[in-house]
Structure 1
Amino acid sequence: MKLLNVLPTLDPAAGGPVEGMRQSALALAAMGHHVEAATLDDPRAPFLTAAPLPVAPLGPARGRYGYAPQALGWLRTHAPRFDAIVVHGLWQYPGFATRQALRALDVPYYVFAHGMLDPWFKQTYPLKHAKKWLYWPWGEYRVLRDARAVLFTTDEERLLARQSFWLYRVRERVVSFGAAAPPGDAARLRAAFLAAYPSLSGQRILLFLGRLHPKKGCDIVLHAFAQVAQSDPTLHLAFAGAGDDDTISQLHALAARLGIAGRVTWTGLLQNDLKWGALAASDAFVLPSHQENFGVAVVEALASGTPVLISDKINIWREIAADRAGFVASDTVSGALANLRRWLALDASSQARMRMQARDAFAARFTVDAHARRLLQVLEEDRDATCRANAAAAPRAAA
C-alpha cells in the first residue's frame, strides 16, 4: 500500500502526534509499504534532514492556521499516486486543503483526530471554542463528514469527541496508537544521559517529559514535588521538553517561589538516545495532564520500564491502572501528591515489580507495530469494501 501522511509539521517539538506518525511510518515501511509525508514546513527547516521518510515541505505556511498556497495544487497533482491519505490533526489548513483537492479524485482520505475534539478544550477555552464554531459548519465539519473515516486512538477519545459540537457526523474507527521500544541497552542509554547531566548522578529522578504547556499540568508537578522534596534529599525533578518563553519563565518563577529551584533541572527538548536515557535513568515518570488522548511519552516510559504517575484525564489511564504499571489520580495538586506519596512509600521489591509490569503493559498493548497493523487493517478493509461496491454497481450501470 502507498500511504501519504498530511500534517502541519514534522518538528519533534510539536509533541506526541509527530513522533507517533514517524514511528508508524517506520513500522509500515518495515512491513513493505510505501509511506510519504506532506507538511507545511519551510523546506529549509533543519529537522527535515532527519526525517525517516520522503517529505514534501509545502511551506512556509502563513499564520497560525497554516495557509500554504502551493499545498492544494501539490495534493491535486500527487494524490493519485497513493492508495490513501491520512490527515493528522484538526483546525489547520492541511485538512481543508486535502478535502478540496480530493473532491474530484478517487482517492480516500482519513483524519486522525489526535484528541483535538476533546470537550476539555470547549470547557477550558470557551472563547476559542466560540471562534471554532464560526469555522466549524463550513470548514472542519465538512472535512470530517467527507472523510472515509475519522481515526481515534481509544474508545474513550471516540466517545468524548461527540460532545464538542452538536453538528457532528463522522464515520468512526478506533486504530489505537503506539510507540517504539528503547533503541538498545538501558545501561548505555542511562550512562549517556547522566554524562550529559552529571549533576543528576546519584539522584532519584522524577521525570516530566513533554511539551511545557498549561494543559500538561506542569505547575501541578512543581506544587506536588515541593511537598515531598524534604522527605528524601536525593529526590530531584527533571523537566524535559520545549515550550514558549512565557510558560517557561512562569514555571521557573514558580519553582523559585516554592523553594525548589535547586532541586529542578530543565533540560529542554530531549531526542533520540538522550530522551531514552532520561527515561531509563528516572525513578518514575510524572504527567498530571488535564487532557491527553493517548500520551506517547507515557507509553515510552512504560517501554523503558519506568512506572508512570498520571492523571485520569489521560485516555489510557484505565489500561495503566489495570496493568498496575503506575498510579492514577485526579489532575490536581492533591492527586499528583497522592501519586508521588504512593510511589515513594513502596519498598524496593514492590518498585521493581511495578517496573516489570510497566514493560509488560507496553508489550501487551502499546507497541507501534500493533498500531501499524491495525491502521493497515482499517485502510485495507475500506479499500476492499469500496472495490466490492464498485463491482456490484457496474452491472446495474451497464443495464
Structure 2
Amino acid sequence: MCFSAAATCTVRKTDYAFEVTNQTVNIKFSVLQDLQNLGAQNVCLMTDKNLSRLAPVKAVLDSLSKTGVRYKVYDNVRVEPTDTSFKEAILFAKNGSFDVFVAVGGGSVIDTCKAANLYASHPDADFLDFVNAPIGKGKPITRALKPLIAVPTTAGTGSETTGVAIFDFEPLKAKTGIASRAIRPTLGIVDPVHTLSMPERVAANSGFDVLCHALESYTALPYNQRTPCPHDPIARPAYQGSNPISDVWSRHALHMVAKYMKRAVRDPEDLEARSSMHLASVFAGIGFGNAGVHLCHGMSYPISGNVKTHSAKGYSVEHPLVPHGLSVVLTSPAVFSFTAPMCPERHLEAAEILGADMRQVKRQDAGAVLADTLRHFLFDLQVEDGLGAVGYSKDDIPALVKGTIPQERVTRLCPREHTEDDLSQLFEASMKIY
C-alpha cells in the first residue's frame, strides 16, 4: 500500500508518500507444510555452530526429513557477520543450486541467509553491487529471489520481518549492509519456545535491540520531511521515516518491552514473558522495517566493528564481541537527550511508557527525563557502564566518528541535524552512563 499526503515530486523536495509492505508471520512449530506448499526440492538450511546442536535446528531438520526433500546444512554462520563470512555463505549457496532457503537463528543467521539468497540469485554480481552507498554501489534488486523461511531464535533483531542484512565491513571496521524489500523473508515462523535456550545476557542484549528499534523508529524524522523526494516509487528507500502506521507498531512494541523485558531476562522459564518479547521483536521489526532507525544504530556499527578485547558474557564465540543490542543501547541516553528538542512529545510519551513519573514534567525536560528513565532501565538489567566498560576510551572517539559517517542510510533519519562534533560529544557522553 502507498499512502500519499501531497503533490508528486515535480513540485516538492521532500517525500509525499510512504509505503507499507505486507509481511506474513506465522506462529507455529513445524515448517513441514510450508516446505511442501513451496514445492521445495533442494533446501539450504543456515544456522551457526552453537545452534546446530540445539532443539530449534533439530525441529527444523525433523520437518525436512519428513518431507523427503534433499537438503544441506550450512552451520558456519558467524555471530556478528563480516563481509568475509557473508562471502563464504554466498559461495556455499552458489554451489548448491537451492530452490528454498531456511534460516534458523538470530539476526546474524537470518541476515547471512538473506545475502546468500540474494547473490546466489545474481551469480555474476560483484559483492559491493547491492551494499548500501556510500560503501557499496546500492544498486536496486530487480531479479526475483528464492523463497526464504526465517525461524528466529532470539527476541531482538526482527530480521524475519525486514529487508535488511547487516555485516561488519572489515576494511572500514564498521558495519554496513544491504537494504531492499526484495531480500525480506517470504515467511517468518515465530515460535517462543525457540527463545527458551537464550542465556540471560543474550536475552538482555536482544531485548535492547527491540527497545531501540521501537524508540528510534518512533522518533525518526517524519516521512514527509525526508529528502530527496524519489523520482520514482521504486527509488523510495526501505527506511522511509516515521509514519502513522509504523508508529502503531513501534509504540505497541515499546509497551511490551516495558511490561515483559525484565521478566524475560531474569527468568528463562517465564514463557509468557519470553513469548511477549518474541512478539515485541516482530512488532518493532515491522515498525522500524518501514520507518527506519537513526543515531543509536548508526553509532553502534563502529562500536561493534572496532571492538578490541571485550568478551561478551553468554556468547559461545572465540572472537572479541560487543553484541549488537549492547552496542546500540549504550549510546541511547545521550542520543535521546540530543534528539528530544525536535519532537519532545514523543520522547515524553516514550519515557512514560517505560515507567517515568510524569507529574510536574515540562516539555523542555523531555530529553533529560527519557535519558534518566533509560539509565534506570539499563542499571536494573546490569548493563555495562558505558563504552569505557567495553574497552573504549576518549582516544577512540575519532575512529568511532569516522565509522559513523558512512551510515547515512540510518543517520539521515535522525530528527535533529548533527555534525561530526555532535557525534564526538555523543560518544564522549556515552563513555560512562551511570
Return the TM-score normalized by structure 1.
Answer: 0.30
Q: Which has more radius of gyration?
A: 1
TM-score by structure 2 length? 0.28
